[in-house]
Amino acid sequence: MGWWDSLWSSSSGDDPLRKLDPKLREFLERESPVKYSAAQTAAEEKEQKKVAADKHAEDNKEANKPLVPRESQFQDGRYAHLWKTYRPLTEVEAETKSEHEKLMDVLEGYKERKNQIGKAALENCALEQVDWRQCMTSPSFTERMTLCRTQIKKFEKCYMTQTRLLKALGYLSTADRSPEVEEDIQLHADTLYQRLLSQEAEVAAAKEEGRPIPTFPPLIPRVSIAANQLQQKAQQQEELTKEQQEMLRERLKKVDEEDRPAEEEAIRAEWRAKAEVASRIQDLWKKQDEERKARKERGEETLWDRLSGTFGGGNEKR
């Protein structure tokens, strides 16, 4: 049956029977125990290649997967068998938390962000703190008479400006961002503050020498409206209501004119952070409502589900 095998072998992916006499081809297709179809064979080969590629990708993923989690002291793979069933504590706690606890986590995270911004600002103003402390511990005669007013004002300016810059740059505004990125933002805020001090020194020198006062671009430029469609959409979402615009004007009146651009960006960034928290809470309520409906359909509705439906009115009324 070598002649039969030669009919089915082909160096290309074309139909091996296409050059045969039509009658002979019809006879072979009718009498063959395996019904041949070129399209079917091509589809099967394609599916086999896809399965092989998926398996290869999965094997690579498994090969690149760390032998032990990062919590292990021995990253060389020792005691890997002991870590096979390990799950991080945060993951386990997240599964066992109640709806109220999940909601409080979001709110506490927003409050903690404010505290962390203050700590980052203090770290960036470490030198100003040192000057203030030295003035308080061993002041000169002038510093004693002025009660270290110069050092205090220098520290207050640094702290307020650093806080504005950190907020405007989005420090800790996203929950799933890596610590390395947050550290880069903190360093960039300090760099911008040092640039601001340099600009103020240039302006003071120009005034003293009678030269024209130099102008500088804003430390944090606003995104151009015509940049691209994505940025346009972000701008539209950031449109302020009349109430917010009035609140913004009132808050900017209390700030020195040279500090108003940074203060405006900080206020807008703070409102964006609040909007993100509100969105996360809405998503949490929606998910909880879906879970309650699923339990009700399964006949597993709890007393709290009934109370939530009666008094809460579901996610739609919130």
Same domain, 168 and 62: no
Give the residue numbers spanning the domain of 18.
2-81
Same domain, 41 and 177: no
Same domain, 116 and 190: yes
Does the structure show a pLDDT above 80 at 58? no
Does the structure show a pLDDT above 80 at 234? no
From CA 230, how far away is CA 233, in angstroms rounded? 5
Write the pLDDT tens digit of every residue in 278-296. Answer: 888 888 788 878 877 887 7
Same domain, 132 and 267: yes
- 95 domain residue, yes or no: no
Show which of 81, 96, 120 is a domain's final residue.
81
Same domain, 39 and 119: no
Does the structure show a pLDDT above 80 at 243? yes
Same domain, 207 and 271: yes
Contact in structure between 207 and 304 (CB atoms under 8 Å): no
- 91 domain residue, yes or no: no
**Per-residue confidence band for 260, with pLDDT thresholds at 50, 70 and 90:** confident
Same domain, 138 and 271: yes
- Nearest in space to 136 (alpha carbons), one of 125, 121, 152: 152
Write the pLDDT tens digit of every residue in 142-169. Answer: 889 999 999 999 999 999 999 999 988 8
Q: In the prediction, which pLDDT does 37 show? A: 52
From CA 68, how far away is CA 117, in angstroms rounded? 34
Specify which of 63-77, 142-156, 212-226 reaches the highest per-range mean pLDDT. 142-156
Write the pLDDT tens digit of every residue in 167-202. Answer: 888 888 776 778 888 999 999 999 999 999 999 999
Mean pLDDT taken over the chain:
75
From CA 100, how far away is CA 111, in angstroms rounded? 17
Total residues found in the chain within this entry: 318
Does the structure show a pLDDT above 80 at 10? no
Residue with the two structure tokens 């006499």: 21
- Nearest in space to 113 (alpha carbons), one of 185, 189, 170: 170
Specify which of 32-41, 192-201, 230-239 reaches the highest per-range mean pLDDT. 192-201
- 246 domain residue, yes or no: no
CB atoms within 10 A of CB 166: 28
Same domain, 143 and 190: yes
Amino acid at the residue 125: C
Same domain, 161 and 204: yes
Rounded to a whole number, what is the distance in angstroms from the first to the last CA of the chain? Answer: 78
Per the structure, the count of domains in the chain is 2
Does the structure show a pLDDT above 80 at 309? no
Give CA angle at 227 (223, 229), nearest 5°: 110
- 299 domain residue, yes or no: yes
From CA 27, how far away is CA 24, in angstroms rounded? 5
Write the pLDDT tens digit of every residue in 16-34. Answer: 556 666 766 666 666 555 5
Same domain, 70 and 110: no
**Per-residue confidence band for 224, with pLDDT thresholds at 50, 70 and 90:** very low
- 223 domain residue, yes or no: no
Q: In the prediction, which pLDDT does 237 show? A: 46
Show which of 47, 81, 115 is a domain's final residue.
81
Contact in structure between 201 and 229 (CB atoms under 8 Å): no
Same domain, 69 and 142: no
- 289 domain residue, yes or no: yes
Give the list of residues 6+ apart from residue 240 with CB closer than 8 angstroms, or none: 248, 268, 271
Tell me the average pLDDT across 39-53. 65
Give CA angle at 35 (34, 39), nearest 5°: 125
Residue with the two structure tokens 């709290």: 304
Tell me the average pLDDT across 256-269. 82
Q: Quick one: what percent of the chain has pLDDT higher than 90? A: 23
Give CA angle at 12 (6, 16), nearest 5°: 45
- 119 domain residue, yes or no: yes
From CA 250, how far away is CA 245, in angstroms rounded? 9
- 154 domain residue, yes or no: yes
Same domain, 63 and 192: no
Does the structure show a pLDDT above 50 at 62? yes
Helical spans, DSSP H, in the chain: 2-8, 22-31, 38-64, 89-96, 99-124, 126-137, 141-146, 149-168, 179-209, 229-237, 242-253, 260-297, 303-307, 314-317
Amino acid at the residue 315: N
Write the pLDDT tens digit of every residue in 83-136. Answer: 777 777 766 666 666 766 777 777 777 778 888 999 999 999 999 999 999 999
